Structure 1
Amino acid sequence: MADQTIARSINERSILTLLRLRGSLSRAGIARELSLTPATITRLVADMAKNGLVREIGHGPAKAQAREPGRPGVQVALDPRGSYFLGIEIGVGVLRLAIVDFAAQLARSEEHPVPSRASPQDVVRLIGERIHALEADPFFAGRVRAAGVTVPGLVAHGGQVVNLPILGWSQVDLLLLLAKVTPLSVTVENNANAAAFGALYAQPSLPTVCTLFLKLGVGCGGAAVVNGRLLRGAHGTGMEVGHLRVSEQGPRCHCGQSGCLETRVNVAALARAARGRDDLDAAELARLPAEVAAEAKQGNGRSKAAIEHLSHHLGLGLVSLVNLFNPTMIVLGGLMRPLLVMTLPHLREIVADRIIPGTITPDILLSPLDEKECAIGAACLAHHRVFDPASLDVAPSIPRAGLTIA
């Protein structure tokens, strides 16, 4: 009986994943793609439709109708309203929330200010208040299935925040704190990992053989997605690309070292180059990339030089990463987006000119998501736990009526 239950869960998740990637298919089409019998697909789809996870949306092409007697061309698709997944970004001075529907599309987002050095308990208390507000919302009540939370620091397997110097946190069992304010199944992830995963998950057409993601803002976070999965390292704290050493000298990094890539390409580095000081407050730093970009377009020499300085060091970092990972694609996101738009051609030239000869140059593009990319990515990670058959042996059950696939 246990084996049958596991097989059923795997088949259900496989159907849902196929529909998420392909949009809609007939029952016969699903059976062919998954090498399952039509009777099995009919039974599973009927149960999932009863539980509000999938729906019929009409007829497919006439050719398909001709070869599928019995249920000619009726298409099955995910029901976007079947479930919702919450993503929460704990940032510097801000808490961002994003809700994605069952089709992994953004349904709602919100943003709340928090003290830049708020304690873990204070932030978790606000998270609990927002979750309770969602549960009281008639539109989402009872349909938020799981949540993901991101932080801009080291996160070990199991949700332990090892080190988060930007917020002054260290060795925080964030999952334990969150369990006190919500019964939802929650995952905790590094913010760059979440943003990288979300950028690809939200656009299944993008390649995932090996994709690198850099999030440039207050820090410089990095992530790698290999064959659709995040590369985390042995203990979950890998891919700290912002701490690649690019020189022996330079500003002191919050990690305690000098010469880190992060200190050359983050918003504080931009402030030093463009304003001659880096003691701007959080709001000023948030506005700075757009201001410097606008000034450079108007011919301001200092702003142009600041952008060139940033793109030079970022390009050198990308060359090292390409030589190490041989990625198919590099995605750039974060607060620096206004500057990244201007520097993409230069970055592509640096990478093409300086990587090991014979290496195929990866495409370099901007993240398809906006400033909500970390929150959306966290929601996508929670969403993925419902779909991924490989997570069956580790994912806790989701205590919601009608959802039998977790």
Structure 2
Amino acid sequence: MPALTRRPEPLTSPAAATVFTMVLTQGPVSRVEIAKRTGLSSAAVTKAARPFIEAGYLEEMEATEHTGPGAGRPASPLAIRPEREYFIGVKITDDGLIGVLTDLRAQVLETDHRPLADARVESVLADLAALVAGLRARRPEYGERCHHLGLSISGDVDHDTGMVRYSPFLGWRQVPLATYAAQATGLVVTIENDVKALTAAEQWFGEGIGLSHFALVTIGIGIGCGLVIDGRVVVGAHGVAGEIGHIPVGGEAPPCHCGGHGCVEAIAGTGPLLAAVRAATNRPGMTIDEAIQAAHDGDERAREVFARAGHAIGLAMAAMANLFGPARIVVTGDVAGLASYGLLEGQLRQTFAGQAFGAAAGCEVVLRPRTFEHWARGAAAIAIKTLFTLRER
């Protein structure tokens, strides 16, 4: 059963999806400009936009430009009415829920955090239902116009069926999360892998606007990657495309939780990285913050561990760039991952530049810090994107 079955009535054709998406992600924009960018005729743009205007999703602004040089009819830009509909996004971690309520542009209006009592599915669902109800109750209009919930979770997630096939940090296997969450909250639910959800948010509302090819790499507990090729988030036949954290770069060691050996994640993920620093410095009780500080203070043993992690990530990023040729790679992560990045960056960039082939070495690599609320916003963006695009899979 698909995780989402409802769509707005105006979304009836590829042209409608194209027009609405352009206004949502790049507006306000005139019909003339939409036609120029998309290749649609002016009549087709007007036909596609009209139902959205009538349904209250779009509005015509005052005329600010002309359709041609000299005398001409002023063009009225189309703009989103962001308050027309609200969305909730929740990032599920191994120990908590981070929730946001957004408008149609994925602008965060409300936030909430809720620790998990435990990782049992029924317990997480109870906490999720309470969080969602609390967010919707903050304003009457939220309860009236918020009907969609996006969930993001690390691991192997089937967006189409709403199934969490495997989430290593929660220990879940074959959990029909979308169905359970819909029953618990009464909302229409979409779920996605957390990295792919964040990638979708960057595509529509962040660093990826206007780019047909870009990648997002996340550093933290795991090493993840989201890919956008020809304007679409790549999922692959099995839904696990972009898992650069499980590219083997370390030979037969160390072992990875996935069952493989030498994976990037087994070298550069927060847990393995900390374990390696503890072993190198003979400080078994060291925290990740202390490991980072030791490296910053010049402990060469700690610095070598971080450099190895940067080398592993750089190799994986170069392999990805050689295969897919993104115009930009956005690097982000959790708090520990971003704190580590300054120690990883030099070796990461050096390895990437040395291993990337030809013009791929010129790919722009940018660091963009993202909080857990941004990850939850990614979940909301998935709900928005799924609602307002025709089926891509």
Q: What do the CA deviations read for 1:91-118 (whole angstroms, capped 9, x no partner)? A: 1112111233112323233222114x51
Tell me the SS of whatever aligns to 1:18: helix
How many angstroms does 1:13 deviate by? Answer: 3.2
Aligned 1:270-309 pairs, distance under 5 A: 270-276=273-279, 288=288, 291-309=290-308
**Which whole-Å CA distance do the structure 1 matches of 2:388 and 2:283 have between them?**
44
How many angstroms does 1:151 deviate by? Answer: 1.4
Asked if 1:224 is matched to 2:227, the reply is yes
Between the two proteins, the alignment pairs up a number of residues equal to 378
Amino acid aligned to 1:88: V
Which runs of no fewer than 5 residues in structure 2 stay unpaired?
A: 1-8
Output the TM-score relative to the length of structure 2. 0.83
Q: What residue in structure 1 maps to residue 56 of structure 2?
A: 52
Q: What residue in structure 2 maps to residue 237 of structure 1?
A: 240
Q: 1:218–1:266: 8 Å Cα contact kept in structure 2?
A: yes
**Which whole-Å CA distance do the structure 2 matches of 1:118 and 1:134 have between them?**
22
Q: What residue in structure 1 maps to residue 329 of structure 2?
A: 330
With over 3 angstroms needed to count, the CA separation of the structure-2 counterparts of 1:143 and 1:64, relative to structure 1, is: farther
**Which whole-Å CA distance do the structure 1 matches of 2:270 and 2:312 have between them?**
13
Q: What residue in structure 1 maps to residue 205 of structure 2?
A: 202
Amino acid aligned to 1:199: E
Q: 1:269–1:278: 8 Å Cα contact kept in structure 2?
A: no
**Which whole-Å CA distance do the structure 2 matches of 1:299 and 1:216 have between them?**
22
Q: 1:27–1:38: 8 Å Cα contact kept in structure 2?
A: no
Q: What do the CA deviations read for 1:77-99 (whole angstroms, capped 9, x no partner)? A: 11111112221111111211123
Amino acid aligned to 1:274: V
**Which whole-Å CA distance do the structure 1 matches of 2:79 and 2:42 have between them?**
19
Q: What residue in structure 1 maps to residue 349 of structure 2?
A: 348
**Which whole-Å CA distance do the structure 2 matches of 1:231 and 1:167 have between them?**
25
With over 3 angstroms needed to count, the CA separation of the structure-2 counterparts of 1:271 and 1:32, relative to structure 1, is: closer
Tell me the SS of whatever aligns to 2:184: coil
**Which whole-Å CA distance do the structure 2 matches of 1:224 and 1:352 have between them?**
19
With over 3 angstroms needed to count, the CA separation of the structure-2 counterparts of 1:40 and 1:310, relative to structure 1, is: closer
The alignment's C-alpha RMSD in Å is 3.1
How many angstroms does 1:307 deviate by? Answer: 2.2
Q: What residue in structure 2 maps to residue 377 of structure 1?
A: 378
How many angstroms does 1:349 deviate by? Answer: 2.0
Q: 1:272–1:278: 8 Å Cα contact kept in structure 2?
A: no
With over 3 angstroms needed to count, the CA separation of the structure-2 counterparts of 1:357 and 1:46, relative to structure 1, is: closer
How many angstroms does 1:309 deviate by? Answer: 2.4
How many angstroms does 1:26 deviate by? Answer: 3.7
Greater alpha carbon shift after TM alignment, 57-66 vs 171-180: 57-66
Aligned 1:59-208 pairs, distance under 5 A: 59-61=63-65, 67-69=71-73, 72-115=74-117, 117-138=118-139, 139-156=141-158, 157-203=160-206, 206=209, 208=211
How many angstroms does 1:73 deviate by? Answer: 4.2
**Which whole-Å CA distance do the structure 1 matches of 2:251 and 2:132 have between them?**
46
How many angstroms does 1:211 deviate by? Answer: 2.4
Output the TM-score relative to the length of structure 1. 0.81
**Which whole-Å CA distance do the structure 2 matches of 1:65 and 1:272 have between them?**
66
**Which whole-Å CA distance do the structure 2 matches of 1:198 and 1:267 have between them?**
24
With over 3 angstroms needed to count, the CA separation of the structure-2 counterparts of 1:28 and 1:332, relative to structure 1, is: closer
How many angstroms does 1:207 deviate by? Answer: 5.7
Q: 2:207–2:330: 8 Å Cα contact kept in structure 1?
A: no
Tell me the SS of whatever aligns to 1:256: coil
How many angstroms does 1:374 deviate by? Answer: 2.5
Q: What do the CA deviations read for 1:188-241 (whole angstroms, capped 9, x no partner)? A: 111111122222222265464332322222222222221222211212233322
How many angstroms does 1:153 deviate by? Answer: 1.0
**Which whole-Å CA distance do the structure 1 matches of 2:324 and 2:18 have between them?**
29
With over 3 angstroms needed to count, the CA separation of the structure-2 counterparts of 1:106 and 1:278, relative to structure 1, is: farther
Percent of aligned pairs with the same amino acid: 26
Tell me the SS of whatever aligns to 2:206: coil
Q: What do the CA deviations read for 1:323-357 (whole angstroms, capped 9, x no partner)? A: 33333222222120122245334322211112334
**Which whole-Å CA distance do the structure 2 matches of 1:63 and 1:194 have between them?**
38
